[in-house]
A and B are shown apart, each in its own frame.
Chain A
């Protein structure tokens, strides 16, 4: 069966460190993989999109890698700040599914001083 797995345990890191979140998937052929941020009681906010033929994408302090052999994406936040504390969701758009996204359950990141 198709699965998207993110670490359900919260990730606690100290301010200034790099946070690394993992998204693993099985039985998918993703055309795109996307990362979103979701704050409590709010809708997700789009952060980055990476295509199947891209290895890495960067945007300011964010970096996403995509390894279709390992079926894994890593999401990095460098120089993390308390304001980065939120739940981060990965989402896949599978090939031929007309833009439909399937979301992982998200990983909660807590950045402390």
Chain B
């Protein structure tokens, strides 16, 4: 199997607070995890690539100081939205990369819906 979990599944917070989202690969180890954001009726947009034991690589236009990523183990990556504002409200989805032979496949978590008031 290849199961990825996210916690929490939804969160409502006040503007200015920070929110941490966890992404876990439950039955495999993942050196690489990815964080995406999806707005309504739009596709997934890659925010950053998270590598175990090293700094994350952020996509153009994504503020690394606002979206803090920590990949401290082979089964856990966290995304912290710092000083959240209403425009950060979105559906955040992580994926974990499973390597089988020469094939690399991303398995996605169920997503975290963030609403900033």
Q: Is A100's CB under 8 angstroms from B49's CB?
A: yes
Bitwise, B97-115 to A at CB < 8 A (1) or not (0) is 1000001111111110100
Q: Is B108's CB under 8 angstroms from A44's CB?
A: yes
Q: Is B60 an interface position by the 8 A CB rule?
A: no
Q: Is A46's CB under 8 angstroms from B103's CB?
A: no
Distance in angstroms between the alpha carbons of A85 and B63 in the assembled complex: 36
Bitwise, A49-61 to B at CB < 8 A (1) or not (0) is 1000000000000
Q: Is B77 an interface position by the 8 A CB rule?
A: no
Interface residues of B, dominant DSSP: strand
Q: Which of A60-113 contact B (CB under 8 A)?
A: 89, 98-106
Distance in angstroms between the alpha carbons of A45 and B1 in the assembled complex: 13
Q: Is B108's CB under 8 angstroms from A43's CB?
A: yes
Q: Is B19 an interface position by the 8 A CB rule?
A: no
Partner of A106, one of B6, B43, B45, B49: B43
Q: Is A41's CB under 8 angstroms from B113's CB?
A: yes
- CB neighbours of A89 from chain B (8 A): 43-44
- CB neighbours of B103 from chain A (8 A): 49
Partner of A42, one of B32, B42, B110: B110
Q: Is B68 an interface position by the 8 A CB rule?
A: no
Interface residues of B (CB under 8 A from A): 2, 4, 6, 32, 34, 42-46, 49, 91, 93, 95, 97, 103-111, 113
Interface residues of A (CB under 8 A from B): 34, 36, 41-46, 49, 89, 98-106
* A-B contact sample (9 more), CB < 8 A, given A41-B91, A43-B110, A46-B108: A36-B108, A41-B111, A42-B110, A43-B4, A100-B49, A101-B34, A103-B44, A103-B45, A105-B43
